[in-house]
Amino acid sequence: MERRIVTILGIPFSKWGMQETVRYLTAAVSARKPHQVITANPVMVMAALEDPSYKKMMQQAELIVPDGTGVVWASRIGGDPVTERVAGYDLLHELMKQGELHRWKVYLLGASPEVVEKTASRLKELYPGTEIVGYRDGYFTAEQDEEVVDEIRKTSPDLLFVARGADTQEPWIAKYKQRLGVPVVMGVGGSFDVISGKTKRAPKLFQKLRLEWLYRLIKEPTRFRRMLALPRFAVRVLRERGNLTKSR
């Protein structure tokens, strides 16, 4: 499949919509070569601008999909629009669905022990044809990394979903993706919290009005500081609109 990329403030985003993304990742599972999928939003783009090692890590991911309305908007401003928003949460479900056709094996890593356990049983209910070969919580130290990686390797999954904070999950995946040997590894942030029922996704109305971020802010006011990245992102995009989508 031909790659279609738009670079936004130095971060190469895939222009594919959901369907093409799933098709590409299905091919990646067959090819058995490690693919790190990052579902990136404006907060992550801003983090990359401020931290060169985070930026380099992102640039080395095999696929970055446009999560977040802000990224979709920026691609339009840059004159090279992505097809649509590809939300990590939706992509997880699409891949689980696809897994039923191909009998994929899935490992879940992250969140608290109760949340990941509930997530596993809920996903089994929803997608009985996709096998959950293992799961474990995301609260472990760097010293335990090796043990965690070995545990995952033993189950030889086709997909690995990692649900830790964005600042840790993506660098962790980048560091271990070769050793893990899993074809598709994707950071899914707070998705297990939603699947398990611990937190709720924004009501449909908020989703429709593209105000999911506002809903999350109301529910978790501690996100406020991080959300300041959004207006900074917008200012940066508008200021650099002329050469926004140049690779650098």
Distance CA 192, CA 189 (A): 8
Pick the closer one to ligand UDP by CB: 22 or 89: 89
Q: How far is the CB of 31 from ligand UDP (least distance, A)?
A: 29
Residue nearest to ligand UDP (CB): 138
Q: How far is the CB of 200 from ligand UDP (least distance, A)?
A: 13
Q: How far is the CB of 87 from ligand UDP (least distance, A)?
A: 14
Q: How far is the CB of 153 from ligand UDP (least distance, A)?
A: 20
- Say how many Å lie between the first and final Cα of the chain, rounded: 24
Distance CA 162, CA 170 (A): 9
Distance CA 224, CA 39 (A): 21
Pick the closer one to ligand UDP by CB: 28 or 186: 186
Q: Is the CB of residue 217 less than 8 Å from the CB of residue 227?
A: yes
Pick the closer one to ligand UDP by CB: 74 or 111: 111
Pick the closer one to ligand UDP by CB: 56 or 139: 139
What Å distances lie between residue 204 and 59, 192, 209, CA to CA?
33, 19, 9
Axis-axis angle for helices 52-59, 42-50 (nearest 10): 120
Pick the closer one to ligand UDP by CB: 78 or 189: 189
Which residues contribute to the site for ligand UDP (CB under 6 A)? 110-112, 138-139, 163-166, 189-190, 192-193
Axis-axis angle for helices 69-77, 229-239 (nearest 10): 10
Pick the closer one to ligand UDP by CB: 68 or 110: 110
Q: How far is the CB of 122 from ligand UDP (least distance, A)?
A: 14
CA angle 186, 188, 191 (to 5 degrees): 150
Q: How far is the CB of 166 from ligand UDP (least distance, A)?
A: 4
